[in-house]
Copies of this chain bind each other. A is one copy, B any other.
C-alpha cells in the first residue's frame, strides 16, 4: 500500500499536477514532470486526461470550486441581505487576494485560463453570479432591495462593477495602499443603487 503502488486515479493525478504547478508555474510545468512525480510514464497520464489543457483546466476548476464553496456559505446565511451582499463581496475580494499572494503560480495558471476565455473560468463566473443572483432575489423578497431590478441582470452588473477587486487582470493593484477604501466606495455606491426606495441612505 505504498503510494507508488496505489492505483493511478484522476484524483491522484490532479494532486500531483497541483503540486507541480505550484513549484514550476504554468509556463514550465510539463506532463512529463507530473508523470515523474507520480512514478509513472507520461502515457499513463494521457489515459485519464485527453490533453495537457484538460489537465490544467481540471486543476484550476478544483481550485476555483474551493472558493465558490466557501462563498456559498455566506449566501445561505439567514440575515440582512445587504450585510450578506457586503460580506460576500468582501470575502470574494479577500479570497482572490489571498490566492494571488499565497499561491502565485496557481493564480498565474488561473490568469492564463482567464486570458484564454476558458470554459472553466466562464463556469466559475456563472457560479459566482448565480450566488449573487440568489442574494439579490432574497433581498427583493424581504424588501431590502428594490424589486425594480431584474436579479439576474443586476447580479452581472454588480459582478462587473466590482471587477477591479476580483478580476486577475488587476491582481497587481491589490497590494496598493488605498485599495480597501476604493472597494468600500464602490460597494457603498452599488448598495445605494440596490436599496429599496424609502430606506435610509449612508
Interface residues of A (CB under 8 A from B): 146, 148-149, 153-154, 156-158, 160-164, 167, 169-170, 181-182, 185-186, 188-194, 197, 201-202
Known contacts: A148-B202, A162-B161, A190-B161. The answer to whether A185 contacts B156 by CB under 8 A is yes
Known contacts: A189-B193, A190-B189, A191-B193. The answer to whether A160 contacts B156 by CB under 8 A is no
Bound state CA distance, A160 and B188, in angstroms?
A: 13
Bound state CA distance, A156 and B164, in angstroms?
A: 12
Bound state CA distance, A107 and B193, in angstroms?
A: 33
A-B contact pairs, 7 of them (CB 8 A): A154-B185, A156-B185, A157-B182, A157-B185, A160-B186, A191-B193, A197-B197
Residues in B whose Cβ lies below 8 Å from that of A182: 156-157, 160
Q: Chain A at the B interface: mostly helix, strand, loop or mixed? A: helix
- Those 10 A-B pairs whose CB atoms lie nearest each other, nearest first: A193-B193, A192-B193, A157-B185, A161-B161, A169-B169, A189-B193, A157-B186, A160-B164, A157-B189, A153-B185
Q: How far, in Å, is A150 (CB) from chain B's closest CB?
A: 9
Bound state CA distance, A114 and B181, in angstroms?
A: 22
Residue of B nearest to A115 (CB): B172
Bound state CA distance, A169 and B193, in angstroms?
A: 26
Q: Are A148 and B189 in contact (CB under 8 A)?
A: no
Q: How far, in Å, is A199 (CB) from chain B's closest CB?
A: 9
Residue of B nearest to A201 (CB): B148
**A-B contact sample (16 more), CB < 8 A, given A148-B201, A160-B164, A189-B193:** A146-B192, A149-B188, A153-B185, A154-B185, A154-B189, A157-B182, A157-B189, A161-B162, A161-B190, A163-B163, A163-B164, A189-B190, A190-B190, A192-B192, A192-B193, A193-B193
